Amino acid sequence: MSTLTLSPATAAEAVSPNRRWAILAVILIADVLDLLDATITNIAAPTISKDLNGGAALIQWLGAAYALALGVLLVVGGRLGDKFGRRRVFLVGLTGFTVASIACGLSFSPASIIVARLVQGAFGALLIPQGFGILGAVFPRDQIGKAFSAFGPTLGISAVGGPILAGFLIDADLFGAGWRSMFLINILLGGFAIVAAVKLLPKDTGDSTTAVDGIGSGLLAGTMLGLLYGLIEGSSNGWTLVPFASLAAGLVFFGLFCHRQRTAASPLIQPSLLKNRGFTSGLILGIVFFAANAGLLFVLSLFLQNGLGYSPMRAALGLAPVAAGIVVASIACYQLVGKLGRNLVLIGLLITLIGTGWLLALVHAYGTDLGTWSLLTPILIIGLGMGTCFGTIYDVTIGDIDPKEAGSASGSLSAVQQLANAIGAAVVTTVYFKTLASDDEAHAMTYSLIVVACVALLSTGLVWLMPRNAQPDDHH
């Protein structure tokens, strides 16, 4: 197929129906690649750390590095697509992501794989924001909803299948590659997607006048690096002057970032959004909730493998009920959020709290003698709670903002989720490893679950500051 150059006004009419769905498939593959690589280290981290002699610090950095780069640059990636053309930025992101995946698979030291994960997340931030814009240009308005509806099931299956695939590849040890095959498989997936994208995606010229706040992104990166390095260094090598100085530097960068958002001509987060109490409350709730749950899933994987002695494959299957619960609840709540609004967020928090409390009681009572079947129900309940909250928090948070601010709000929330994943994994694993230094796996898991339960309980207070309802046009 030849490459088309289309203006937004004529794109949908000029692209044939078959080509539209082929373009959708390319966008879905890109999102699946991102989700797979975001989740596989939850299972693979202990194996990678042992093979590269990385210790607890590497376990924490593997997931945090990817989420950090993705979250910091996600809004910038969207702006770059607007400025230079979505097709061009999509191809740069996809190619860079694939090359960075190869670098992950060929890593020879803890530092090399952390850098490769940072680069992978950075290119992912160029790749992911372009998808919806491309689809919006090539699908007619009456078909765009059908196209977007393919994302939920596809990404849900990926969320379930990603960790299972990681566990299978590690246990199978294909060609002696072990964990490396998780990343090297992207040569096939990414290579296919690059060829298809070059042939299928329509060209667009972009808007050279679009402003990109590089200074704000740099300050946000400094904030996150300072906080993450301080937490991870402190939990791994002791709370000396270095981690405290790093945390202090992170807070200074955060202050400068906030000042930048008030004074920049094109800030990453529109100041008018932060003046909206409902949006700000939802933003804070999202940070806290996503952080706690990212940390919970990470330490749960560590406990299953290091505490209960599960293989990577068995641990992945043990966590599968979480992903299944997320998928089921997300689908069910799509229609309910329009009727229940913020009450649905509260229900999700309470369900998560019940599952976490149930799991806490089991770990406290039985320690490392827990049976597989006894874990099934509380892990499924946690997944149902997460799924109830995930999309609902977003929908309710933007419930009373100006429609013209919806794009900025959505991008900000997506970036915040990634940053919360990074900081949450670092905070909860810090509690886990700090306890483990003086106690056993069961007590480390117990204290981690207490932290998550307390966060979920405190989060319920923020619900009443959110808008009452979601945007009425989003749910029918």
Which of 191, 212, 233 is at the close of a domain?
212
Torsion sign, CA atoms 366, 370, 373, 378: positive
C-alpha 155: how far from chain center: 12
Query: Which pLDDT value is given to residue 406?
Result: 66
State the amino acid at position 60 in one-letter form. Answer: Q
> What span, in angstroms and rounded, lies between the C-alpha atoms of 431 and 415?
25
Q: Is residue 315 part of a domain?
A: yes
**Do 185 and 331 fall into the same domain?**
no
Query: Which tokens is 113 given?
Result: 């794989």
Asked if residue 70 belongs to a domain, the reply is yes
Task: List the CATH number of the domain containing 295.
Answer: 1.20.1250.20
- Residue 193 shares a structural domain with residue 250: no
pLDDT at 190: 92
Note whether 234 and 312 are same-domain residues.
no
Residue 8 has pLDDT above 60, yes or no: no
Query: 159 and 28: one domain?
Result: yes
Q: Which pLDDT does position 423 carry in this prediction?
A: 85
Cα dihedral 423, 155, 186, 321 in deg (nearest 10): 70
pLDDT at 222 over 60: yes
Identify the residue with better confidence: 137 or 365: 365
DSSP state of 180: G
Gap between the Cα atoms of 137 and 11, Å rounded: 6
Q: 447 or 142: which carries more pLDDT confidence? A: 447
Indicate if 171 and 201 belong to the same structural domain.
yes
Domain assignment of residue 246, yes or no: yes
Q: Among 236, 265, 294, give the residue marking a domain's end.
A: 265
Residue 122 lies in a domain: yes
Tell me what pLDDT residue 1 has. 42
Angle 411-219-283 from CA coordinates, rounded to 5°: 35
Question: End of a domain among 240, 265, 290?
Answer: 265
Task: Say how many domains are in the chain.
Answer: 3
Concatenating the DSSP letter of every residue in 126-159 gives: HHTTHHHHHHHHHS-TTTHHHHHTTHHHHHHHHH
Domain presence at residue 5 = no
Rounded mean pLDDT, 425-448: 88
Clarify whether residues 206 and 238 are in a common domain. Answer: no
Categorize the per-residue pLDDT at 368 as very low, low, confident or very high, splitting at 50, 70 and 90.
confident
Are residue 241 and residue 204 in the same domain, yes or no?
A: no
Q: Which residue has the higher pLDDT, 407 or 475?
A: 407
In single-letter form, the type of residue at position 267 comes to P
299 close to 441: Cβ distance less than 8 angstroms: no
**Are 170 and 237 contained in the same domain?**
no
Q: Give the residue carrying structure tokens 């990212």.
A: 294
Task: Specify the pLDDT at position 152.
Answer: 64
Largest CA distance in the chain: 66
Residue 336 lies in a domain: yes
Q: Are residues 444 and 323 in the same domain?
A: yes
Nearest CA among 221, 230, 228 for reference residue 257: 221
138 with 187, same domain: the answer is: yes
- In-domain check, residue 222: yes
* Statement: residue 328 has pLDDT above 80: yes
Asked whether residue 35 falls in the same domain as residue 107, the answer is yes
Rounded CA-CA distance 248/243 in Å is: 9
- Examine the pLDDT at 14 and tell me if it is beyond 70: no
User: With 50 as the cut, is the pLDDT of residue 476 above it?
Assistant: no
Q: Lowest-pLDDT range, 395-404, 423-432, 455-464?
A: 395-404
Average pLDDT of the chain, as a whole number: 86
pLDDT tens for residues 71-93?
Answer: 888 888 888 988 899 999 999 99
pTM for the model: 0.84
pLDDT at 330 over 60: yes
User: SS in 3 state form for 28-96?
Assistant: HHHHHHHHHHHHHHHHHHHHHHHHHCCHHHHHHHHHHHHHHHHHHHHHHHHHHHHHHCHHHHHHHHHHH
Is the pLDDT score of 391 beyond 60?
yes
What pLDDT does 223 receive? 92
Q: Is 3 domain-assigned?
A: no
- Domain range for 25 is 10-212
Among the residue ranges 11-25, 29-43, 65-79, 397-411, the one predicted with the least confidence is 397-411
Same domain, 217 and 240: yes
pLDDT tens for 116-126 read 999 999 999 99
Residue 10, pLDDT above cutoff 70: no
pLDDT at position 2? 44
**To the nearest whole percent, how much of the chain has pLDDT over 90?**
35
pLDDT attached to residue 323: 84
Indicate the pLDDT class of residue 187, thresholds 50, 70 and 90. very high
